């Protein structure tokens, strides 16, 4: 029974391209014509995974790859994800599997109820792996978010600097301004705004590791009088700020907390204030986070549709000054991260085991394809208390280039 349903699923996922599936019983099944898509061969050796693939395909497939019981015998992992994407992914699942997705959508608000205690635990799961690991594939400034490849030949370092400068331009930063960085990571954005733009920055994070590193970096840069890094939940902040920036943090907020998040931005912003929210999103209707991604990479994480964000923004006093959609930039960023990760694979193996390496490789490649072949994008949402605070055109962003 289980194998029959899995084969039906695989047949639907290979109408373009070609998929050869070798089942645990040794049988070989070929689907697709090989036209208009990649040709791959997958081998599954664990029979118990057949039932798991019906109950939760994304979780089971990721776990089987991590365990080595699912292997790509011909083709690449990237081609596997691409084949599934161009054939429709979730949208063409057999009825029993589709019912499972509907059930998970029905309870997603429960799964994303990121209260302060749960948020801290979720952040630690991913971001406290250690600086030495992240240094193996991130840029020198440890920017763990989408870079801005204004020119195709840019290095990762150049593109990450371009991202920070683009955000600073949208914020209209002036020396002496009080800036809040929600989800400050390892402190790169705060350091840039303080050092290069003369701002006084308060950065908040829930990661103990990131907080310690960011604080040490500020001290090393001689910027402790301009930067205050805090191990604090944004919901507990008070005071007023001229500018608010948040890069790669909204993905950890969760649908039930969007009103709280944007109301807090509204409350903390001065009357002439500007906020810039940089977040992964999707050009499509609301859905659910991959079960595998939620369990192993980003617990409580979710990439929203614009339709899920706007109601909470519209309920505030904030003007939508600009909404820019980045397409392609994150896929290119992820390719750079993959290249650096693979180049340092021996070092990773000395730190972790083979299963961790397969997990991280699966994550990086799946994420790349989600931006290349699915509907994932990056939103930059500029918000202001007053309509006239920011210019009416984007010309001001490019005057110095």
pLDDT in tens, 55-112: 898 999 999 999 999 999 999 999 999 999 999 877 777 776 767 667 666 666 666 6
pLDDT value of position 33: 84
pLDDT of residue 31: 94
Which stretches within 325-388 are classed as H helix? 329-343, 345-351, 354-372
- Tell me the whole-structure pTM to 2 decimals: 0.92
Model confidence over 246-269: pLDDT tens digits? 999 999 998 889 999 999 999 999
Position 204 scores a pLDDT of: 97
The CA distances from residue 305 to 250, 256, 364, in Å, are: 12, 14, 21
Residue ranges in the chain whose pLDDT is less than 50: 401
208 CB burial (10 A radius; 0-12, 13-18, 19+): middle
pLDDT at 229: 98
Q: Given this model, what pLDDT does residue 210 score?
A: 92
Complete domains list, the chain, with CATH: 2-106 (3.30.1050), 116-397 (3.40.50.150)
- Write down the pLDDT at residue 61: 95
Length of the chain: 401
Q: Are 203 and 214 in contact (CB under 8 A)?
A: yes
Give strand pairing partners of 200. 178
pLDDT, residue 127, reads 60
Q: What is the CA radius of gyration of the chain?
A: 22
Q: What is the per-residue pLDDT for 89?
A: 76
> How many Å apart are CA 218 and CA 221, to the nearest integer?
5
């Amino acid at each position: 029974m289980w194998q029959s349903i899995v084969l039906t699923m695989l047949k639907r996922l290979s109408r373009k391209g070609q998929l050869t599936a070798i089942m645990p019983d040794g049988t070989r099944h070929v689907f697709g014509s090989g036209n208009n898509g990649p040709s791959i061969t997958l081998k599954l050796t664990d029979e118990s995974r057949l039932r798991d693939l019906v109950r939760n395909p994304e979780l089971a497939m990721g776990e089987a790859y991590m365990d080595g019981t699912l292997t790509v015998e011909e083709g690449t992992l990237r081609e596997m994800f691409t084949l599934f994407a161009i054939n429709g992914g979730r949208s063409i699942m057999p009825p029993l599997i589709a019912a499972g997705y509907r059930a998970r959508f029905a309870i997603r608000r429960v799964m994303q109820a990121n209260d302060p205690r749960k948020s801290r635990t979720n952040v630690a799961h991913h971001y406290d792996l250690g600086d030495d690991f992240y240094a193996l594939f991130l840029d020198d400034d440890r920017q763990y978010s989408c870079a801005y490849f204004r020119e195709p030949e840019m290095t990762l370092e150049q593109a990450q600097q371009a991202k920070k400068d683009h955000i600073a331009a949208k914020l209209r930063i002036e020396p002496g301004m009080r800036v809040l960085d929600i989800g400050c990571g390892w402190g790169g954005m705060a350091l840039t705004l303080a050092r290069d733009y003369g701002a006084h920055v308060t950065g908040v994070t829930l990661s103990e590791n990131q907080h310690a590193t960011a604080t040490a970096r500020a001290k090393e840069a001689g910027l402790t009088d301009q930067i205050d890094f805090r191990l604090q939940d944004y919901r507990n902040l008070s005071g007023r700020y001229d500018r608010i920036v948040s890069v790669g943090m909204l993905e950890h907020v969760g649908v039930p907390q969007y009103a709280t998040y944007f109301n807090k931005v509204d409350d903390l912003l001065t009357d002439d204030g500007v906020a810039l929210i940089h977040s992964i999103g999707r050009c499509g209707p609301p859905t659910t986070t991959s079960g595998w991604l939620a369990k192993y990479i980003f617990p409580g994480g979710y990439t929203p549709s614009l339709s899920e964000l706007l109601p909470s923004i519209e309920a505030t006093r904030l003007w939508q000054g600009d909404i820019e959609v980045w397409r392609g930039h994150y896929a290119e960023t992820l390719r750079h991260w993959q290249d650096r990760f693979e180049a340092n694979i021996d070092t990773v193996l000395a730190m972790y085991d083979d299963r961790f390496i397969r997990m991280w490789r699966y994550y990086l490649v799946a994420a790349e394809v989600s931006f290349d072949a699915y509907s994932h994008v990056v939103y930059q949402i500029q918000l202001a208390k007053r309509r006239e605070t920011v210019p009416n055109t984007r010309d001001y962003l490019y005057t110095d280039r």
